[in-house]
Amino acid sequence: MDGGVGRWVGVDVGGSKVLAGVVTATGEVLRTALRRTPGRLVAAEAVEDALVDAVTAVTGDEPLAAVGVAAAGFVDRDGSRVVFAPHLPWRGEDVRDRLAQRLGAPVLLDNDATCAAYAEATYGAGRGVSSMLLVALGTGIGGGIVVDGGLWRGQHGMAGEFGHMQVVPDGAPCECGRRGCWEQYSSGNALVRVARSRLGVEPTVLTDLCDGDPDRLTGPMVTEAAESGDLVARAAFASVGRWLGVGLANLVAAFDPALLVVGGGVAVAGDRLLAPAREALEASLVGAGHREVPPLVPAALGPSAGLVGAAVLAGATV
């Protein structure tokens, strides 16, 4: 099923990429189209242009039944505006109506990690679990909360912005304007930053991969190097993993969920990331030796979770 007359399309809009996909009512992704995010210092319309281009590429001449947009930002309770996005240029724009007009179809707008949490709870790692926290590691950190099988969005629709918890007072500056945010120590950007700091200090294949230019170093390069056994790349993953566990311990103390799910692009590293995270979680969680520590597992739907959740949520509103 694809939503009856026309396709259901989900679009995950993050700080580095715009990923669109045609999704069935059972959460299957039929095909995708990828575009680069223009950046956070461009006009908001530039991001919307990339989004429309990705949707057009993935659907061609097929009619649209509904489009779900999973945005890396604070979405208002009505699902009409992106109030603030640390890694995108949206600042209160009426994204939903503008895109609906351009695409000629109903548009659902929601937070990207919230959409991913819905998809994982419905089709993925969280199926059958009473409560679940999803932490998505991409350019930054997003989060989603599932309670009794349903999404918990908070009073104003903005729950789950875990990446901007302060973990280091007066720490590294963050794109949100504050300092010491969790995502500055555990995210795709943090992974690259840690690896970049060791270039020229320790021998590493990363130097060759980026042609000796630290500014050209990317997360996939660090992943490739780690898989080949490079010690600098592996140490970068261990650092990000340890900080991941520290932040998760805070979330477990606050929410006491049945399950922790880690998704996003960085999570493809699997136990290279999750093993140090589990160790740090148990070491940092108060009373860990006297309580049940929730399992920490990778997302089952991979980088498509956000667009899957957005598409199915959009389809349900048609």
pLDDT digits (tens, 9 = 90+) for 300-318: 998 899 999 999 999 988 7
Residue 187 shares a structural domain with residue 285:
yes
Residue 290 resides in a domain: yes
The set of long-range contacts for 215-221, using a CB threshold of 8 Å and a minimum separation of 24, is: 217/192, 218/192, 219/188, 219/191, 219/192, 219/265, 219/266
Tell me how far the alpha carbon of residue 30 is from its chain's centroid.
Answer: 21
Residue 281 shares a structural domain with residue 138:
yes
Residue 164 resides in a domain: yes
- What confidence score (pLDDT) does residue 57 get? 96
- What confidence score (pLDDT) does residue 61 get? 85
Residue 136 shares a structural domain with residue 113:
no
How do residues 228-286 score in pLDDT, each as one tens digit?
999 999 999 999 999 999 999 999 999 999 999 999 888 888 899 999 999 999 999 99
Specify the 3-state DSSP secondary structure of 87: coil
Q: Among 227, 232, 229, 199, which Cα is nearest to 215's?
A: 199
Residue 1 resides in a domain: no
- What confidence score (pLDDT) does residue 1 get? 41
Residue 104 shares a structural domain with residue 59:
yes
Instruction: Output the domain CATH number for residue 252.
Output: 3.30.420.40
Helices (H), the chain: 44-59, 95-103, 112-123, 188-196, 206-209, 219-227, 231-255, 271-284, 305-317
Residue 259 shares a structural domain with residue 228:
yes
Residue 212 shares a structural domain with residue 63:
no
Cβ contact 22:29 at 8 Å: yes
Enumerate residue ranges in the chain where pLDDT < 50.
1-3
> How far is residue 138's CA from residue 15's CA, in Å, rounded to a whole number?
8
Three-class HEC string of 248-316: HHHHHHHHCCCEEEEECHHHHHCHHHHHHHHHHHHHHCCCHHHCCCCCEEECCCHHHHHHHHHHHHHHH
> What would the two tokens of residue 165 be?
């918890």
- What confidence score (pLDDT) does residue 53 get? 96
> How far is residue 185's CA from residue 172's CA, in Å, rounded to a whole number?
8
- What confidence score (pLDDT) does residue 39 get? 76
Residue 291 shares a structural domain with residue 309:
no
- What confidence score (pLDDT) does residue 5 get? 67
Residue 103: domain span: 7-117+304-317
Domains: count for the chain: 2
Residue 122 resides in a domain: no
